[in-house]
Amino acid sequence: MLLEKIQSPDDVKRLSRDELKTLAAEVRTHLIAKLSAHGGHCGPNLGMVEATIALHVVFRSPEDKIVFDVSHQSYVHKMLTGRVSAFTEAAHYDDVSGYTEPSESEHDHFIIGHTSTSVSLAGGLAKGRDLVGGKENVIAVIGDGSLSGGEALEGLDWAAELGTNFIIVVNDNQMSIAENHGGLYANLAELRRTKGQATNNLFRAMGLDYLYVDEGNDVDALIEAFEQVKDADHPVVVHIRTLKGMGYALAEADQERWHWTMPFDIATGELQYTPSGEDYNTLTAVHLLQRMKHDANVCAITAGTPGIWGWTPERRLEAAGQFVDVGIAEEHAVALASGMAKRGAQPVVGVCSSFLQRAYDQVSQDLCINNNPATLLVLWGSLTSMTDVTHLCHFDIPLLSGIPNLVYLAPTNREEYLAMLDWSLSYREHPVAIRVPVGPTQPASRDVPQDFSSLNQYEVVLRGEQVAVLALGNFFGLGESVCRLLRAQGVEATLINPRYITGLDEALLHSLTADHRVVVTLEDGALEGGFGEKIARFYGPTAMRTLCYGARKAFVDRYDPQAFLAENRLVDTLIASDVIEALRC
Amino acid sequence: MLLEKIQSPDDVKRLSRDELKTLAAEVRTHLIAKLSAHGGHCGPNLGMVEATIALHVVFRSPEDKIVFDVSHQSYVHKMLTGRVSAFTEAAHYDDVSGYTEPSESEHDHFIIGHTSTSVSLAGGLAKGRDLVGGKENVIAVIGDGSLSGGEALEGLDWAAELGTNFIIVVNDNQMSIAENHGGLYANLAELRRTKGQATNNLFRAMGLDYLYVDEGNDVDALIEAFEQVKDADHPVVVHIRTLKGMGYALAEADQERWHWTMPFDIATGELQYTPSGEDYNTLTAVHLLQRMKHDANVCAITAGTPGIWGWTPERRLEAAGQFVDVGIAEEHAVALASGMAKRGAQPVVGVCSSFLQRAYDQVSQDLCINNNPATLLVLWGSLTSMTDVTHLCHFDIPLLSGIPNLVYLAPTNREEYLAMLDWSLSYREHPVAIRVPVGPTQPASRDVPQDFSSLNQYEVVLRGEQVAVLALGNFFGLGESVCRLLRAQGVEATLINPRYITGLDEALLHSLTADHRVVVTLEDGALEGGFGEKIARFYGPTAMRTLCYGARKAFVDRYDPQAFLAENRLVDTLIASDVIEALRC
Tens digit of each residue's pLDDT (9 = 90 or more) over A246-279: 999 999 999 989 999 999 999 999 999 887 889 9
Active site residues of A: 244, 330, 358
The answer to whether A296 faces chain B, any CB pair under 8 Å, is yes
Q: Does the beta-carbon distance from A109 to B534 stay under 8 Å?
A: no
Chain A residues in contact with B130 by the CB 8 A cut-off are: 321
Please judge whether A331 and B120 are an interchain contact, meaning their C-beta atoms are less than 8 angstroms apart: yes
Is B206 close to A187, i.e. CB distance below 8 A? yes
The model's confidence at residue A178, banded by pLDDT at 50, 70 and 90, is confident
Active site residues of B: 244, 330, 358
Query: Cβ distance A142 to A97 under 8 Å?
Result: no
pLDDT for B127 equals 98
Q: Looking at the DSSP assignment, which residues form a beta bridge with residue A346?
A: A298
A191 touches chain B (CB under 8 A): no
Q: Do B339 and A125 touch (CB under 8 A)?
A: yes
Name which of B150, B533, B582 is nearest A534 (Cβ-Cβ): B533
Q: What is residue A175's predicted lDDT score, i.e. its pLDDT? A: 79
Contact across the interface for B369 and A390, Cβ inside 8 Å: yes
- Identify which of B186, B347, B398 has the shortest CB distance to residue A529: B398
- State if pTM tops 0.95: yes
Nearest CB partner across the interface for A207, out of B184, B340, B533: B184
A209 part of contact set with chain B, CB < 8 Å? no
In Å, how far is B101's CA from the nearest CA of chain A? 9
Q: What residues contact residue B559 under an 8 Å CB cut-off, 6+ apart? A: B387
Q: Are B128 and A368 within 8 A, CB to CB?
A: no
CB within 8 Å of chain A, chain B residues 505-544? 526-530, 532-534, 536-537, 539-543
> What pLDDT is stored for residue B71 in this prediction?
87
CB spacing of B534 vs A533 below 8 angstroms: yes
pLDDT score of A71: 87
What is the dihedral angle through the alpha carbons of B178, B183, B189, B190, rounded to the nearest 10 degrees? Answer: 180
Nearest CB among A120, A326, A537 relative to B335 is that of: A120
CB contacts < 8 A, A to B, total: 414
Partner-chain contact A402 B528, CB within 8 Å? yes
Distance from CA of B546 to the nearest CA of A (A): 4
| Mean pLDDT, residues A56-84 | 96
Per-residue pLDDT at B307: 93
Q: Which of B103, B118, B331, B579 to mutate to test the interface with A (most CBs of A within 10 A)?
A: B331
What is the pLDDT at residue B401? 95
- A85/B contact by beta carbon, under 8 A: no
Residue B145's pLDDT is 85
Q: Which residue has the higher pLDDT, A470 or A1?
A: A470
CB contact under 8 Å between A395 and B402, yes or no, is yes
More confidently predicted of B487 and A176: B487
Give the chain B residue nearest A329 (alpha carbons).
Answer: B154
C-alpha separations of B99 from A256, A567, B71, B384, B389 in Å:
43, 49, 5, 19, 10
**Subunit contact A395:B401, Cβ cutoff 8 A:** no
- Which residues fall within 8 angstroms of residue A353, CB to CB, at 6 or more apart? A378, A379, A380, A381, A382, A385, A393, A394, A395, A396
The amino acid at residue B458 is: Y
Is residue B49 less than 8 Å (CB to CB) from chain A?
A: no
Strands B432-435 and A40-41: unpaired
Q: What percent of chain A has pLDDT over 90?
A: 96
Look at residue B177 in the predicted model and tell me its pLDDT.
73
How far apart are the C-alpha atoms of B347 and B344, rounded to whole Å?
9
3-state secondary structure of A61: coil
Q: Which helix (H) or strand (E) holds B576?
A: helix B572-584
What angle, rounded to 10 degrees, do the helices at B17-38 and B219-229 form? 110
Chain B residues with CB under 8 Å of A121 CB are 335-336, 338-339, 342, 366
Q: Does B206 contact A202 at a Cβ distance shorter than 8 Å?
A: yes
Strand pairing report for B494-497 and B459-462: antiparallel
Q: Which of chain A's residues have a Cβ under 8 Å away from the Cβ of B157?
A: 148, 153, 182-184, 327, 329
pLDDT attached to residue A367: 98
Helix, strand, or coil here: B560?
coil
Task: Choose among B128, B151, B401: nearest Cβ to A528.
Answer: B401
CA-nearest residue of chain A to B395?
A: A402
Question: Which chain A residue has the Cα nearest residue B341?
Answer: A128
Interval A323-375: pLDDT, tens: 999 999 999 999 999 999 999 999 999 999 999 999 999 999 999 999 999 99
**Ranges under pLDDT 50 in chain B:** none
B182 to A324: CB separation less than 8 angstroms, yes or no: no
Pairing of strands B298-302, B260-261: unpaired
- Helix-strand-coil split of chain B, %, nearest 5: 45, 15, 40
Cis peptide before A62 (omega within 30 of 0): yes
ipTM at complex level: 0.97
